[in-house]
Amino acid sequence: MAVGRPTSPAGAASFLAVCPSAARRSYVVAADVYAAPGQVGRGGRTWYTGSAGWMQRAGIESILGLRLQGEFLRLDPCIPRDWPSFEMTVRYGAARYEIRVENPSKVSGGVLSATLDGTVVTGRPLRLRLLDDARVHYIQVTLGMLEVPGTRREDGVRQSAGSL
């Protein structure tokens, strides 16, 4: 039997017999979550709801902070404080943008500094014009907070660099 993506509930049942770990995928949204004995917590009909695409978009736009607006890329992450970094690749036509976001200060957001191909980008919010030039571009972002003069970090009085 060839193993492939199930296309119907009947196909899904035979697929699960060969690949039981596919009972519920963490990156899709189940239309059914079973409560029957022996099936508690298993999910079904994961590819029928259309919700998976919306969940992916919510994660990319609201957590990783990546939004494509016409020919512009906007980046304003809002991540858990304990994430040290993340990387992603964006294709724009024939160009590729390799993005690395570092979080050395363990903050949830606020772009402290950014570079595009080694050149400092000062505008905030971070908005970069994308070029369809068949090149690989590198975006480096560091999250952090600007210290407000005359305050201590313990006071909690800091200014998000992303809100300037």
The tokens describing 66, both together, are 């990546």
Q: What is the CATH number of domain 70-163?
A: 2.60.420.10
Q: Which helix (H) or strand (E) holds 16?
A: helix 9-18
Q: In whole angstroms, what is the distance from residue 38 CA to residue 35 CA?
A: 8
pLDDT tens-place values along the chain, 164 residues long: 343 444 444 444 554 555 554 455 556 677 778 888 988 888 777 766 677 778 888 899 999 999 999 999 999 999 999 999 999 999 999 999 999 999 999 999 999 999 999 999 999 999 999 999 999 999 999 999 877 676 665 544 444 455 44
Whether 43 contacts 71, CB under 8 Å: no
CB 71 within 8 A of CB 137: no
100 in Cβ contact with 140 (< 8 Å) = yes
What number of other Cβ atoms are within 10 A of residue 73's Cβ? 21
State the pLDDT at residue 6.
44
Its pTM stands at 0.67
Question: What is the reported pLDDT for 23?
Answer: 52
**Annotated domain spans of the chain:** 30-63, 70-163
Residue 12 CB contacts under 8 Å (≥ 6 apart), including other chains: 6, 44
Cβ atoms of 142 and 113 within 8 Å: the answer is yes
